[in-house]
Amino acid sequence: MSRFTSRLCIAALALGLVAGSAAAPAGAAAQQVPDITDADFLGQAAQSNRFEIVTGKLAAQRGKSRAVRRLGRQFAVHHTAALEQGAAVAAKLGITPPEGLNPQQQAIAEALADRRGRSFDRAWLKAQLVAHEQAVALHLRGALTGDTADVRTLAITGLPVVAGHLGELSATVADRDDDGHHRGHEHR
């Protein structure tokens, strides 16, 4: 799928969510997307990107399977670019995102640094699934409720990347047995 088509699909989804919530009957339990400020979006996105860079590099070094090492390298590259794009928008808006990781991310990165082999792969994949689910939700919030067009555009353009990563992670997890072995193929 081309980038344009991906962005168009995301925009259509976002518009459908907005239109769907606006068209809900007055008493219906329509799920509202919580507002997010530009500063909150840029700060959370920066921390999320740094987490992906740090843990991606760990995966490239410590992963047992080729899939985990490949995804780690890919995530480090993609999230480095996203961090740079976010920093440019933050600078333009006069916003200073927090440095480093949040405490939960730091604890996960430290726990991963202590693991090796299949144990690392299982823990890394689990952490990445959660992190990318959160990143998709964050980008949807930014796309729908960001204060400025710059932040909404940043969120919209980042959404296909984090959603794509989530899809790759889900496929990788689905292709493994309970012991972390690749199903139906030689052990990698």
Domains with residue ranges and CATH for the chain = 37-174 (1.20.1260.10)
Residues 63-77 pLDDT 10s? 999 999 999 999 999
Following DSSP, what letter does each residue of 158-181 receive, concatenated?
HHHHHHHHHHHHHHHHHTB-TTSP
- Give the Cβ contact number of residue 149 at 10 Å: 8
Q: Give, for 137, the enclosing helix (H) or strand (E).
A: helix 117-145
- Name the residue type at position 163: A
Residues 102-115 pLDDT 10s? 999 999 999 999 99
Q: Confirm if 154 and 85 have CB atoms less than 8 A apart.
A: yes
- 94 sits in the region (left: phi over 0; alpha: psi -120 to 50; else beta) called left
Q: What is the pLDDT along the chain (188 residues), one digit of tens a residue?
A: 444 444 444 444 544 444 344 444 444 444 677 899 999 999 999 999 999 999 999 999 999 999 999 999 999 999 999 999 999 999 999 999 999 999 999 999 999 999 999 999 999 999 999 999 999 999 999 999 999 999 999 999 999 999 999 999 999 999 866 555 555 544 44
Q: How far apart are the first and last CA of the chain?
A: 28
